[in-house]
A and B are shown apart, each in its own frame.
Chain A
Amino acid sequence: MNGKILIVEDDASALRLIEFALQQERYEVIVATNGLTGLKKAQTENPDLVILDLMLPGLDGFEICSRLRKDPETEKVPILILSAKTHESDVATARAVGADAYLTKSGDPSEIVAQVQTLISQKPLII
């Protein structure tokens, strides 16, 4: 296994697509379809990377990201924000709340896989 990835995404189809693409690259994938579950799984499942959708019922992606950065358990986990929105302000907010990368949904799963591989390889090894 290359690593454990948590995907927080409420759209079932989008979630299945990312899950399948990552599984093909031999990642272990865990999923959450709303903000609260996502936050809990990030804190308990010890993922190597978290993929956050922005528009989520309950807690949104920015809120989860901000909370993960404040928690010593998750402050270092790489976070990739995925959004269909291309607003400059969203990119800036993502940076402000501590996300490592911001990707606009394009429909090409390989872009996500490539971004995930980059972030995981940058992660310092914990001995």
Chain B
Amino acid sequence: MDAKPKMLIVDDRVENLVALEKTLGDLDVDFVRALSGNEALAHTLEHDFAIVLCDVQMPEMDGFETVEFMRQDKKTKHLPVIFVSAIYTEDFHMVKGIETGAVDFITKPIIPEILRGKVQVFLDLHANRLSLEEEIKLRTEAEQTIQEQYDDIQIHTHELEAANQELRETQTKLLELNQEVQESEERYRDLFENANDLIQSVDAEGNFVYVNSAWLEVLGYEMKEVENLNFTDVVPEEEWAHCQEQFQQILQGERLTNMQTIFLTKDGRHIYVEGNAGARFKNGEFVANRGIFRDITERKIAEEKQLELDRMKQEFISNVSHELRTPLHSLKGFVKLLLGGKVTDSETQSEFLSIIEKESDRLSGLIDDLLDISRLESGRFKVYKELVSLENIIRDAIQRVGSLANERGITITDEIQPELPEIEVDQKRIRQVVTNLLSNAIKYNNENGSITVRSEVTDNELLVQVADGGIGIADEDIPKLFERFYRVEASDRIEGTGLGLHISQQIVEAHSGKIWIESELGEGSTFSFALPLNEN
């Protein structure tokens, strides 16, 4: 508190005011003079007073009236007042509202010590009140600040709580999202890993980055080996150029669909595949070449087999027509000669008639073969069994191919075990088999070669073998020999329909027997068939 407390002194006489200031001169106060009640009231509007010292007897408005007015004003309602009067204290009740503030009296003549003492008490009170008010003000301000801070904190707390809640929701969402991503990843991984298709990812240098289980299984690699693989390891050399060409197309952003290539398995097998391939780009940069392929090896083999079969059928038709035409031409030619009267001697006539008969038989034989095939194809092939001697059948067959063997200078030797048991077979069909094996042995034999026919009993079976010293058959061709229409590669210029062995196999199998071939290229071949002796 810098300013001194102010004291209002009210008296209608100036000399009294001067005397009062003098009496109270030692006190640390500023005096404000008022010569009337009105002037005093005017001063209260302007100043804050610590105390009022007021004369009671004044003209116009006396001291009591003045204080009454003061009490009506809020500012001065509690202002301590000391009346200076000659009047007795009994009259004080006349002052309205006087009780609201501290009031004292001092009677004239004034005793300076008493006045100073009374004023000092009021000044002390005022000082205390001021310091209290200051403290209250400070406290109020502090409280206000605290309240404000508290409010701020409350607001922040709300904000934090809201933010926290949001965070919690975000976290929950993230967890859900993560879960979804994980599930989705698992789903795709599962699809990827369990796909039957071969899936691969290759970098710009053709090195493998990733493949799926089907890929590993089909190509026979372990996952750990994949990182060291280049496309040149899994594609046969003859396909490299083609693959590189396609790789360039892919690098240029092209997507290849239904492309076909060949994979090389770890153990060297070829796998035909068909599929789609395309590049993955990230920000315009090539990342990987992805391919999804399907193993079409079986389909490819089936297609090739079908093509081969079609080719064989075509060749069959061509051969059949040739085989039918040759005897037909001879028949026609000899008949023309005979009819034209150009053959005059009876010996030549009968020779030509014999040829006509032989060629007719040949035609019938061919037609029988064709009918057999037709029956086999439609499942109408039947055998009629009777108890017969296999030795007779073999000798009969040798006789039938006799002239063919003579033409080629080929000798046929038989090694038939004596007293072969009789066997229940279709005589005509088994003779057909032996004849067929013999005529093959003649056709595919060397000039002036030899043929041995063996027959013996082994393990309750009757074995028949036709061995020749002919051109022989390559190992890879042996299984094909029994396929219908198949004819050995080198046999372009050898007559035949390619049906004989197929028909023979069907006949032997219809007798619950088996037929097989052993051969050595250049050394000759042995065709064997075995028939069960006692079926029951």
Contact A21 B337 (CB under 8 A): yes
| Contact indicator per residue, chain B 427-447, by CB within 8 Å of chain A (1) or not (0) | 000000000000000010001
Q: A55-B322, A58-B447, A107-B331 are in contact. Are A13 and B493 (CB under 8 A)?
A: no
Whole-angstrom distance from the CB of A117 to the nearest CB of chain B? 16
Residues on A with C-beta less than 8 A from B28 are none
* Residue interface bits A83-94, CB-to-B below 8 A is 1, else 0: 011000000000
Contact B330 A57 (CB under 8 A): no
B220 contacts A by Cβ under 8 Å = no
Label chain A's interface by main secondary structure.
loop
Give the interface SS of chain B, mostly helix, strand, loop or mixed: helix
Chain A contacts for B443, CB-based, 8 A: 57
Do A36 and B447 have beta carbons less than 8 Å apart? yes
Q: Give the chain A neighbours of B348 by CB distance below 8 A.
A: 20
Please state if A84 and B325 are interface contacts (CB–CB under 8 Å).
yes
Answer yes or no: A16 CB below 8 A from chain B CBs.
yes
CB of A105, distance to nearest CB on chain B (Å)? 5
- A105 partner residues in chain B, CB cutoff 8 A: 325-326, 329
Return chain A residues, CB-CB under 8 Å to B330.
Answer: 11, 13-14, 17, 107
Chain B interface residue number, banded: 20 to 34
B117: CB under 8 A from chain A?
A: no
B residues 478-504 touching A (CB-CB < 8 Å): 492-495
B245 beta carbon closer than 8 Å to chain A? no
- For residue B493, which residues in chain A have a CB less than 8 angstroms away from its CB? 54-57, 60-61
CB distance from A37 to the nearest CB of B (A): 8
Contacts of A55 in B (CB 8 A): 322, 492-495
**Interchain CA distance A73-B447 in the complex, whole Å:** 26
* In the complex with contacts A33-B407, A34-B447, A60-B493, A107-B358 CB distance below 8 A: no
Q: Which residues, 39 to 96 on A, are CB-close (under 8 Å) to B?
A: 54-58, 60-61, 84-85
A55-B494, A56-B493, A107-B336 given; A24·B447 CB < 8 A: no
List A residues 93-117 near B (Cβ within 8 Å).
105-110
Known: A36-B447, A107-B330, A108-B333; 12 extra A-B contacts, CB below 8 A, are A12-B355, A12-B403, A14-B330, A17-B330, A24-B342, A54-B493, A55-B492, A57-B493, A84-B326, A106-B329, A107-B331, A109-B337
The contact sample of 19 A-B pairs, CB cut-off 8 A, is A11-B330, A12-B355, A12-B407, A13-B327, A14-B326, A16-B355, A21-B337, A33-B407, A34-B408, A55-B322, A55-B492, A57-B408, A58-B447, A84-B322, A84-B326, A105-B326, A105-B329, A107-B332, A108-B336
